[in-house]
Amino acid sequence: MTHQHPATAARGLQRSEALARAELLEVTSYDVTLDLASSEETFDSTTRLDFVSRGGRTFLDLKPRAVRSIRLNGRPVDVDLLQRGRVPLETVEGPNQLVVEAVMAFRNDGEGLHRSVDPADGRHYVYGMSFMDAAPSIFACFDQPDLKAPYTFHVRAPEDWVVVGNAPGTNPEPGVWELETSKPLSTYFVTLVAGPYHLVRDEHDGIPLGLSCRQSIAAELEADADELLTLTRQCFDELHRLFGIRYPFGDYHQAFVPEFNAGAMENPGCVTFRDPLVFTSKVTRGQRIQRASTVAHEMAHQWFGNITTPLWWDDLWLNESFAEYMGNRVTADVTEYDDAWVQDAYARRQWGLLADQRPSTHPVAGNGEDDATAALQNFDGISYAKGSSILKQLNATMGDEVFLAGVRDHLQGHFYGNATMHDLLASWTRAGAVDLGAFADNWLVTAGPDRIVLDRGAGRLLRTPPTGHPADRAHTLRVATRSPGDAGWQVDELVVDAAETSYDAPAGAAVLLDPFEDTWAVTEPDAVTTALLPGLVASTGDPLLRAGMWNSVRSAYHHARVAPEAVLDLLEAWLPAEDQDAALQYTLGWVLAKVVPLAADPGTAAARVHTASLAAAQAAEPGSTLQLAAYQAAVSSCAATDLLEGWLMGRDLPAGVELDLALRWRVLVRLAVLGAVDRDDLDAHLEAEPTAVSRVEHTRAIASMPTAEAKAWAWERFTGETTAPNYELEAAGEGMWRAGQDELLAPYVARYFDELPRTAEVHSGWVLADVAEAFFPLTSLDDATLERARALIARPDLDSSLRRRVVDTTDELEHRLAVRRAFAGQ
C-alpha cells in the first residue's frame, strides 16, 4: 500500500539534535535505487541504509510525495509516524538496517532532484542538489554533515539519457546505470545528473575529466571546452602542489545544469554549475574570470569541504572562505587570468563589506547558528569575501610555508572526516604559527568591520570598531597619496593598531587608505580626496588601485558621505581611461542601480551615464569586451526609444557591436521599462528564439512594463498563484520594481508586507529567500515603507529565512533614504 503524505514544512535540524544523533550512530553505507523513467512528475526511491547504533531512539529524515514501506531490521515501521520530514526510530545496539521505499517528487526550485524542460527543444533534464536540507527529498537519510558514508547508486532512466554521479558508472543495458561505491560523503554532497546531456571527455594526470550541458547549447560548450579543460588541468596541478594530497574522488566531471540556484556546488566527482556559465552570447573578460575562479573555487573544495568537512554549519567558513581564497589565488597564479584579484575587488569586496555592516552580520567562524535551515542565509559575503580576505591577511602574516604546512596537517588529520576551527588553528600552531588565539578572537569570531578614516586636520587616522562588536584589530595596510601636480601615486605601508594613529597627509593631497585591500576594513575618502579624484583618476595606471578607489567611494556613498553627483563626476572622468571591462560592468551596474535613482534629478543622472557609456563604447576597440561592457550600460541607461528601436533593428550600432541574443533582450527589457514595446512583440521574440535565456528575459521584460496588467502578472508569481522556475521568479521580482513607476506599484507596497509571510507555504529553501529579496519594494523610498518593513521584522511568526532577507533589504532601504535626505537639495 502507498501512503500519501501532504507537503508540510520540515523542521530545520537543530545542532543539539545533530550532536545527539552523531553520538548515537555511525553510518556504514547507503545503497540507493532510483527510477527516473516511469513518470515526469515523480520518481521511485528505494534506500537501504546500514548503520551501527549504541541503541536507542533517533529519527530518519524523509521528504516524500508518498511512502510505500519503511522496514527497520526487517520489521515494518508505521509510515504514518512520518511528520514534518521525520520518522522516529527505535534502534538496537549494534548493526541496524533500514529499508525505505518511497515516491519522491521532481522539483523545479533548484533543490532536491530538479527536473526542467529545455524550451529550445522540449528535452527533459534532471540534476540533484542535496545541499543543506534537500537530500531527504531524493533518498531517506540521516541528513547532517558529520554522518558521512559511502554511496552506491542504481538508476533506471530513459534510454536516451546519460547518468553521472559522485562515482564512475557503467551502462550495462539500455536505460540502466550502475555507479561505483563512492568515497565517504556528507549527505549534502550527493548528486545525480541525468538526461540527454551532451558530453565532452578528457583526461589529465590519471584523472578522467568530463564536461556536460544541455543539447541545445552543445556547440557553445564545445567552443569553450578547451578553455574549461585547460583551467581544470592547471588548477589540478597547482592544488596538488599546494596541498601535497592527490585528488581522491575518481573522475572529475563538471556538469552545467539548468536553473541552478548557486554559482556551483562542489559535489565530489560531479560538480554542478549554473549553465549560463556556458556562454551563449558574447561576454566580457570579467565574466570569463568569474567563471575561471568559480572552476578553481569548486576544485579547491575537493580538499577544503570534501576531504575535510566542517562538523557543523557554524564553521562553513572552513569550506567557503578557503575555496574563495584559493580559487582567486590559483586563478591569478597559474591561469591566463592573472588579473583575477582586480575582478574580485570589483565583484566581491562590497558584497562582503555590506553584509558585514548589516544588522544581520555574523562572525566568519563559530557563528553560533543552531538551525541548519537558517544557516543557509550565512552563505553570504561574510563567509566568502570577508573570510577570503582574512585568510589572505593571515597568509601574508605567517608566510606561505607555515600557512600551507598547517593546511596539509589539517587535511591529513581529518581525511574523509569532519573538523572545526579549533582543529585548524591547532594544525597551524603545530606548523609554527603563533598568537592564533588573539587572531581568532579579533578576526574570526568577532563580527563587523572596523572603519578607518583620515582626520586631516588632526593629522591622524581614526580606527573605529563596529558598534556592538568590540575588537582590537591591528591593520597592516598601504596608503596611496597624490597631489594634483604629481606624476603618480606615492604608496607607503603603515600599521593601524590603535584608535588613533598619527599620520600627516601631504597638504592638499588625495589620500586613499588601503586601496590594495591588504586588510578588512571600511575605508572612505575625506572631502579633499573626493574633490581631487576626478582630476587624478584618468592618469592612475594601476587597475587594482583604481578598484580600491571605487570601493572606498562606494563605502562612503553607502553611508551618505558622498553625493550622487560627485559619484557621477568621478564616473565621467574615469570611464574614458578605464581598460578593465570588469571595472565597467560592476561600477556602471552599481551606479545605475543605486546612484542614478537617488540623484536630485534621476533623468539627468541617467542621461549622464548614457552619454558617457555610449562615448566609451564608440571609442573602444571595435568588437572588444571593453566595448561590450560600455554598450551594455548605454542600453540600460537609454531614454530615447527611437534609438533603442533602431539598435534592435541593427541601425546606428557602434562599429564592432553585434546584437546577439543577450544584447537583443537587454534592448527589449529597456524598451519594456519605457513602455515602448507590447506583450505581443515580446511573445514574438520569445517564439523566434525559445531558449532558456529568452524565457528568463521575457519574464523580466513583461514584469518591467509600466502597466497594471504587467504588475499583476508578476505578482501572481510572488504569491504562487502562477508557478514558475526559480530564475523566472527572480526575474519577475527584479523587473517589477522599476524606479519611475511609483503610481502603478503603490498598491503592492503594503501587499508585499502583508503577503510575504504566506509565501513560505508556496516557496522553500533558496527560492523562498531569493523571492523575498527580489520582490522587496526598494524603489518605494519613504518612511512609511520603512515602518512597514520594521513591523514585519518584529512578527514572531516570520520564517527565519524571510526575516534575514527582510532585515538586509530594510537596512539597504534605510541607507538609500539617508542618501536621499542628505543630498536632496543638490
Distances in Å between the alpha carbon of 360 and those of 151, 783, 807, 808, 812? Answer: 37, 21, 7, 7, 12
Distance CA 382, CA 385 (A): 6
Residue with cell 582630476: 535
Across the beta sheet with 162-165, what order do the strands follow? 112-117, 124-129, 192-195, 162-165
Angle 752-755-761 from CA coordinates, rounded to 5°:
130
Q: What DSSP line would sit under 329-377, residue for residue?
A: HHHHHHSS-TTHHHHHHHHTHHHHHHHHHSTT---SS-----BHHHHGG
Distance CA 404, CA 423 (A): 15
Residue with cell 542628505: 822
Q: What does DSSP say about strands 25-35 and 151-156: parallel, antiparallel, or unpaired?
A: parallel
Beta strands in 54-197 (DSSP E): 56-61, 66-72, 75-76, 86-91, 94-105, 112-117, 124-129, 151-156, 162-165, 169-173, 176-179, 192-195
Q: Report the 10 Å Cβ neighbour count for 564.
A: 24
Query: Cα-flanking dihedrals φ and ψ of residue 354, to 5°?
Result: -65, -45
**Can you read off the three cell numbers belonging to residue 696?**
528568463
Distance CA 807, CA 579 (A): 37
Q: What DSSP line would sit under 383-414, residue for residue?
A: IIIIHHHHHHHHHHHH-HHHHHHHHHHHHHHT
Residue 474 burial class via C-beta count within 10 angstroms: exposed 0-12, middle 13-18, buried 19 and up: middle
159 is catalytic: no
Distance CA 571, CA 587 (A): 9
User: Active site residue: 111, 298, 320, 517, which one?
Assistant: 298
What 3-state DSSP class applies to 686?
A: helix
Q: Catalogue the active-site residues.
A: 298
